[in-house]
Amino acid sequence: MSNRARLVSLMERLALSKGDVARIARASDATVDSWLKPETSKSHRVCPDVVLAVIEHGAGDPICATASEAADVLGVTVARVRAMAIDLQVGLGGALWAAGQDEVLARVEAGEPVTLAFGTVAFLVLPGWAFVPLQGRDGRRCKLAIRARIVAGADGGRRLDTQADDWADEATTRAEASTAAAVAERMEEVRVLGLRRVEALDAGDEAEVRRIDKVLDLVGRSVEAVGT
């Protein structure tokens, strides 16, 4: 199933509008439109796997990039959100240990979104981010993104360093979430173009290889521009 088909299926199953997808992905409406255009359209862009993973993990719950967003959704204080998120880091650590921490984090380093279960709780780990589930006293729920980086462990393996208790200012966090989504989209374009380049090489189509190389160069520059 193509990423476009997966996105359409998720939107139908979770009753999400294009605006909902844009908010979850921290993307513009025009970007979401390009993800939904037919693959044959010149303006079609591939929806990143990480965006699909976040939408699926959210399961219709609001996706929050900051403690204050989560507090508004749940109807609790920011301090309460931070306390819940810090507690859930223990569960995330347990889920990583049970699944084989070093192997799981190696997959994340390679760009793969990984979902981990710990009892009835599920976590999503992406390059640079982890998503933890929060619930208020009245049953309202959301998924909160917290910064997470893979570092060297004391035993020589990998461990996940999460920072639920050390958010930067809200504007910075929102900007970083948007940047992460934009970079992921560009990297997905690079992956697809790489596959097409291999096909063109196999077919001996040198003109197509040169065309793809030019596009890859442009996309590579756009990745550098987004990340700066």
Q: What one-letter code names the amino acid at 53?
A: A
Q: Is the pLDDT of residue 36 over 90?
A: yes
Averaged confidence pLDDT in the chain = 81
Question: Is residue 8 domain-shared with residue 78, that is, in the same domain?
Answer: no
136 - beta bridge partners?
A: none
Question: Is residue 77 domain-shared with residue 120, that is, in the same domain?
Answer: yes
Predicted local distance difference test score (pLDDT) of residue 71: 92
Predicted local distance difference test score (pLDDT) of residue 225: 56
Question: Is residue 211 domain-shared with residue 188, that is, in the same domain?
Answer: yes
Domain finish residue from 60, 83, 100: 60
Question: For the segment 7-20, what is each residue's pLDDT rounded down to a tens digit?
Answer: 999 999 888 899 88
Q: What one-letter code names the amino acid at 196?
A: R
Question: Is residue 79 domain-shared with residue 158, that is, in the same domain?
Answer: yes
Region 56-64: mean pLDDT is: 83
CB 59, CB 123: distance < 8 Å: no
Question: For the segment 96-115, what is each residue's pLDDT rounded down to a tens digit?
Answer: 989 998 999 999 888 888 88
Question: Is residue 44 domain-shared with residue 3, that is, in the same domain?
Answer: yes
Question: Is residue 86 domain-shared with residue 50, that is, in the same domain?
Answer: no
Region 141-159: mean pLDDT is: 85
- Name the residue with higher pLDDT: 60 or 141: 141
Predicted local distance difference test score (pLDDT) of residue 74: 93
CB 216, CB 197: distance < 8 Å: yes
What residues contact 203, with CB distance under 8 A and at least 6 apart?
Answer: none
Domain finish residue from 16, 37, 60: 60
d(Cα 2, Cα 188) in Å, to the nearest integer? Answer: 12
Q: Is the pLDDT of residue 80 over 60?
A: yes
- Name the residue with higher pLDDT: 69 or 169: 69
CB 35, CB 46: distance < 8 Å: yes
For 220, the domain range is 169-228
CB 103, CB 109: distance < 8 Å: no
Question: Is residue 151 domain-shared with residue 191, that is, in the same domain?
Answer: no
Torsion angle defined by CA atoms of residues 17, 23, 26 and 30, in that order, rounded to the nearest 10 degrees: 40
Question: Is residue 52 domain-shared with residue 84, that is, in the same domain?
Answer: no
- Name the residue with higher pLDDT: 168 or 164: 164
d(Cα 100, Cα 175) in Å, to the nearest integer? Answer: 32
Q: Name the token pair of 143.
A: 């998924």
Predicted local distance difference test score (pLDDT) of residue 103: 92
Q: Is the pLDDT of residue 75 over 90?
A: yes
Q: Report the number of distinct structural domains present in the chain.
A: 3
pTM metric for this prediction:
0.63
What residues contact 27, with CB distance under 8 A and at least 6 apart?
Answer: 21, 51, 178, 181, 182, 185
- The DSSP-derived string for the chain is --HHHHHHHHHHHHT--HHHHHHHHT--HHHHHHHHS-TTSTT--PPPHHHHHHHHHHTTSPEESSHHHHHHHHTS-HHHHHHHHHHHHHHHHHHHHHH-HHHHHHHHHTT--EEEEETTEEEEEETTEEEEEEE-TTS-EEEEEEEEEEEE-TTSSEEEEE-TT----HHHHHHHHHHHHHHHHHHHHHHHHHHHHHHHHHHT-HHHHHHHHHHHHHHHHHHHHHH-
Question: Is residue 70 domain-shared with residue 150, that is, in the same domain?
Answer: yes
Question: Is residue 66 domain-shared with residue 163, that is, in the same domain?
Answer: yes
Question: Is residue 79 domain-shared with residue 150, that is, in the same domain?
Answer: yes
Of the pLDDT bands very low, low, confident and very high (cuts 50, 70, 90), residue 27 is confident
Question: Is residue 54 domain-shared with residue 83, that is, in the same domain?
Answer: no
Predicted local distance difference test score (pLDDT) of residue 168: 46
Domain finish residue from 167, 196, 213: 167
Q: What one-letter code names the amino acid at 29?
A: D
